[in-house]
């Protein structure tokens, strides 16, 4: 299988973990990388060079808030010179007309702007940031005025799940071509806050029905991508299109991962840039090889028809829910833990108002 292994298609650069928001669902790790440990501009440019040389096609600038890095325009310009398709994943609160103009000039191809809902109070409760909705709406106007391709990303939790129709109407009124309805995923801070965030099955069913109806109505005008929490599902999702098969993720300090949550797999020794090149990490490191393909699979995955569809699900979720990264994803109905997971999700979804633990830099926690 390794003979046929092709390079990743896309790379996600977590330029920084710094962010003006403090989202309770943030999938950054609990141990956030301090600014002093972030890679330099030259390092990021070298990573882009290697990515392009290896044949990657898309680069996602992410974080934290990537706009917290002053060198973002330089990095975008570097990516465009290399012919990489560039996407900025942003909360929008640091975006204004002047900053956007510089990014457009640098060759940025696409912006993904996230919303925690449309009412200020609700969004502030989830993100710890005052006045965020107004700032995001202003950012949206800037991006549209600049004629830049845009995706709106609505982050869904049980607090705002019932506003989904209003969110989609908002997107339609603004002529948005692509929307992501992204139920929060339970990694990092999101996992810490799962009991407070997870929607009920009834909410999930209502969302699925609504999304199906909307998709039918806006066909050809607005594409809706829909990400569900798979705790209530019978089969897991193919996490990242399979472990280390399509994506490469770089943490702010240069740690190279097959997905943004993989640092929780502390039994694996992930390579780090610049000590390792991207190609060495991808093709040679034992950590990337650990769960690639189907060879690692235990029963019942190894004998399952689905094994090349979902690749046994998510390794990080297996670790988080079953305490073992090398077992099948416990949301799978064939897992001995499946019923336990569903029961837990149902129970947590009924807990009502659970206090949110907003994310914070652990190194700045004194006196917090």
Partner 1 sequence: MLSLASTVRLAAGTRLQHDAVRERWVLLGPERMLIVDDMARLILERSHGLTIGALCQALAAEFDAPLATVETDVLALFTSMSEKGFLRHD
For position 230 contacting ligand SF4 by CB under 6 A, the verdict is: no
Tell the smallest beta-carbon distance from residue 276 to ligand SF4 (Å).
25
For position 227 contacting partner 1 by CB under 8 A, the verdict is: no
**Backbone angle region of 270, left / alpha / beta, with phi > 0 → left and psi within -120 to 50 → alpha:** beta
Bond into 184 cis (ω within 30)? no
Question: DSSP alpha helices (H): ranges in 311-351?
Answer: 315-322, 338-349
- Pairing between β-strand 247-250 and β-strand 256-257 as defined by DSSP bridges: antiparallel
The pairs formed by 323-332 with CB atoms below 8 angstroms and a separation of 24 or more are 325/265, 325/267, 325/291, 326/291, 326/296, 326/298, 327/298, 328/236, 328/297, 328/298, 328/300, 328/301, 329/236, 329/239, 331/230, 331/231, 331/233, 331/235, 331/236, 332/234, 332/235, 332/236
String of DSSP letters for 251-285: -TT-BEESSTTGGG-TTS---BTTTS-HHHHHHH-
Piece in contact with ligand SF4 (CB under 6 A), picked from 225-233, 241-249, 285-293, 326-334 = 326-334
For position 82 contacting partner 1 by CB under 8 A, the verdict is: no
State which residue, 47 or 176, has the beta carbon closest to partner 1.
176
Piece in contact with partner 1 (CB under 8 A), picked from 54-62, 278-286, 327-335, 346-354 = 54-62
Of 149, 166, 275, 295, which one interacts with partner 1 (CB under 8 A)?
A: 149
- The 49-88 site mask, x for binding ligand SF4 (CB under 6 A), equals --------------xxx-----------------------
Joined together, the tokens standing for residue 177 give: 């071509």
Pick what 212 binds: ligand SF4, partner 1, none; C-beta below 5 to 8 Å, kind-dependent.
Answer: none
Pick what 157 binds: partner 1, ligand SF4, none; C-beta below 5 to 8 Å, kind-dependent.
Answer: none
For position 58 contacting partner 1 by CB under 8 A, the verdict is: yes
For position 184 contacting ligand SF4 by CB under 6 A, the verdict is: no
For position 219 contacting partner 1 by CB under 8 A, the verdict is: yes
State which residue, 72 or 281, has the beta carbon closest to ligand SF4.
72
Are the beta carbons of 157 and 204 closer than 8 angstroms?
Answer: no
For position 177 contacting partner 1 by CB under 8 A, the verdict is: yes
Are the beta carbons of 189 and 359 closer than 8 angstroms?
Answer: yes
For position 245 contacting ligand SF4 by CB under 6 A, the verdict is: no
Bond into 274 cis (ω within 30)? yes
For position 131 contacting partner 1 by CB under 8 A, the verdict is: no
Residue 53's SS3 state is helix
For position 335 contacting partner 1 by CB under 8 A, the verdict is: no
Piece in contact with partner 1 (CB under 8 A), picked from 159-167, 219-227, 347-355, 358-366 = 219-227
Please tell me the distance from the alpha carbon of residue 182 to that of residue 157, in angstroms, as a whole number: 9
Pick what 312 binds: ligand SF4, partner 1, none; C-beta below 5 to 8 Å, kind-dependent.
Answer: ligand SF4
**Binding region for partner 1 (CB under 8 A):** 6-7, 9, 54-55, 57-58, 83, 85, 87, 109-110, 112, 147-151, 177-178, 219-220, 223, 225
Q: Which parts of this chain interact with ligand SF4 (CB under 6 A)?
A: 19, 21-23, 26, 28, 63-65, 91, 127, 235-236, 300-301, 304, 306-307, 310, 312-313, 328-329, 332, 334, 359
């Amino acid at each position: 299988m390794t003979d046929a292994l092709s390079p990743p298609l896309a790379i996600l650069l977590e330029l920084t973990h710094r962010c003006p928001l403090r989202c309770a669902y943030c999938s950054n790790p609990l141990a956030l990388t301090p600014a002093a440990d972030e890679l330099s501009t030259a390092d990021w440019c070298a990573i882009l060079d290697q990515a392009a040389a290896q044949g990657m096609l898309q680069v996602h600038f992410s974080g934290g808030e990537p706009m917290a890095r002053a060198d973002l325009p330089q990095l975008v310009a570097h990516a465009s010179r290399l012919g990489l398709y560039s996407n900025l994943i942003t909360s929008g609160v640091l975006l204004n007309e002047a900053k956007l103009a510089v990014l457009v000039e640098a060759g940025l191809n696409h912006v993904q702007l996230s919303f925690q809902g449309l009412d200020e109070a609700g969004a502030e409760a989830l993100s710890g940031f005052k006045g965020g909705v107004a700032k995001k709406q202003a950012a949206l106007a800037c991006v549209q005025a600049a004629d830049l391709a845009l995706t709106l990303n609505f982050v869904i939790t049980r607090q705002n799940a019932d506003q989904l129709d209003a969110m989609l109407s908002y997107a339609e009124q603004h002529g948005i071509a692509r929307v992501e309805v992204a139920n929060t995923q339970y990694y990092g801070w999101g996992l810490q806050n799962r009991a407070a965030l997870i929607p009920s099955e009834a909410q999930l069913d209502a969302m699925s029905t609504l999304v199906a109806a909307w998709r039918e109505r806006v066909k050809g005008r607005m594409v809706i991508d829909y990400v569900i929490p798979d705790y209530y599902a019978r089969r897991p999702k193919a996490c990242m299109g399979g472990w280390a098969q399509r994506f490469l993720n770089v943490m702010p300090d240069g740690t190279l991962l097959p997905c943004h949550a993989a640092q929780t797999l502390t039994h694996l020794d992930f390579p780090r840039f610049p000590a390792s090149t991207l190609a060495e990490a991808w093709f040679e490191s034992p950590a990337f090889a650990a769960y690639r393909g189907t060879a690692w699979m235990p029963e019942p995955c190894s004998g399952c028809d689905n094994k090349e569809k979902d690749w046994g699900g998510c390794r990080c979720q297996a670790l988080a829910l079953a305490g073992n990264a090398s077992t099948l994803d416990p949301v799978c109905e064939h897992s001995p833990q499946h019923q336990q997971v569903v029961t837990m999700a149902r129970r947590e979804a009924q807990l009502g108002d659970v206090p949110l633990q907003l994310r914070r830099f652990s190194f700045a926690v004194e006196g917090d």
